[in-house]
Amino acid sequence: MKPKNHLRHPWDLRPVDAIALQKSLAHKVKQASIIKLADIRTVAGLDTHYHKGMATAAVVVFNLSDMRLVESAIVVRSVEYPYIPGLLSFREGPVLLKTLVKLKSSPDLLIFDGQGIAHPRRFGIASHIGLLADVPSVGCAKTKLSGQYKEPGTEKGNYSYLIDRGETIGAAVRTRRGVKPVYVSVGNRVNLQVSIHIVLTCCRGYRLPEPIRRADSLARERSTSTHLTSPDT
């Protein structure tokens, strides 16, 4: 999964230039399902963990039907971009794309622990990487970045729409009874209903979908391992 040639861009942009790029690329995001729900057979979760100046990115691929593990990949590299709210993809994008390239399979959909269009400029990390990789993508964040919503019901599967300036940008989704909702939004090439369905299908007793939960665990375990000695492994 390599970035589209005509969408490649530098990652070490000044914040003002990074924001301008987000606004420009946001118009290319497709908020419609290019792929049929029945054709989504494999999903990949992506997450990044930081430790001692290094970023460890993990991608874990599962069969959607039974959440059986297909494969995983890890890449480690030095952190080259500061943490700036709203610009997470410039910090994590390069290492995540390198991780996707290492996969032997081609997942049908990517799930990110972060925002899709539920972002001030409608271009969170799920939209950014989904667009560059040209793969359907979904954002599933633990915290809200933009918009307002009414608290959804307490049962798994209850949700309410996330609204910002009159626009529906996502949904607060209850993935487990009695826990805080997650914030689901379109990344690219899927619609919101498909995004919600995929997230709920991937939740197996935890607040977070299994693919990103396992990606987080793998990245965290590898990043703190005493055997970690070199970047880009």
What is the reported pLDDT for 207?
97
* Contacts for 42 with CB less than 8 Å, ≥ 6 apart: 61, 62, 63, 64, 70, 105, 107, 108, 109
Q: Report the sign of the C-alpha dihedral through residues 217, 219, 220, 224, in that order.
A: positive
Q: Answer whether 160's CB lies under 8 Å from 147's CB.
A: no
CB atoms within 10 A of CB 144: 16
Q: What's the CATH code, domain 13-144+184-223?
A: 3.30.2170.10
Task: Report yes or no: 212 and 140 within 8 Å, Cβ to Cβ.
Answer: yes
152, 159 in Cβ contact below 8 A? yes
Q: Give the whole-angstrom CA distance, residue 174 versus residue 207.
A: 8
- Considering only the C-alpha atoms of the chain, give the largest distance between any 2 of them, rounded to a whole number of Å: 50
pTM score of the predicted model: 0.93
* Tokens describing residue 169: 């940008």
Average pLDDT on 43-62 reads 96
Over range 118-139, report the average pLDDT.
Answer: 97
pLDDT at 183: 98
- The arithmetic mean of pLDDT across residues 50-74, rounded, is 96
pLDDT at 227: 47
CA–CA gap between residue 8 and residue 155 (Å, rounded): 42
**Cα–Cα distance between 210 and 94 in angstroms, integer?**
23
pLDDT value, residue 33:
86
Rounded CA separation 94/13 (Å): 13
Tell me what pLDDT residue 35 has.
81
pLDDT of residue 223: 87
Residue 73 β-bridge partners? 59
- Contact between 70 and 22 under an 8 Å Cβ cutoff? The reply is no
Higher per-residue confidence, 196 vs 6? 196
Question: pLDDT band at 233, cuts 50/70/90?
Answer: low
Q: Looking at the predicted structure, is the pLDDT value of residue 149 above 50?
A: yes
Confidence at 1, pLDDT banded by 50, 70, 90: low
Contact between residue 31 and residue 186 where contact means Cβ atoms under 8 Å apart = yes
CA distance 13 to 86: 14
Structure tokens at 171: 């949904």
User: What integer pLDDT is reported at residue 34 of this predicted model?
Assistant: 82
β 54-63/42-51 pair status: antiparallel
For 73-123, the pLDDT digits (tens) are: 999 999 999 999 999 999 999 999 999 999 999 999 999 999 999 999 999
Checking if the pLDDT of 230 tops 50, the result is no
Domain ranges of the chain: 13-144+184-223
Q: Is the pLDDT of residue 2 over 70?
A: no
pLDDT interval class at 189 (50, 70, 90): very high
For a pLDDT cut of 90, what percent of the chain falls above it?
88
Distance CA(153)–CA(135), nearest Å, equals 32
pLDDT tens-digit map of 63-86: 999 999 999 999 999 999 999 999
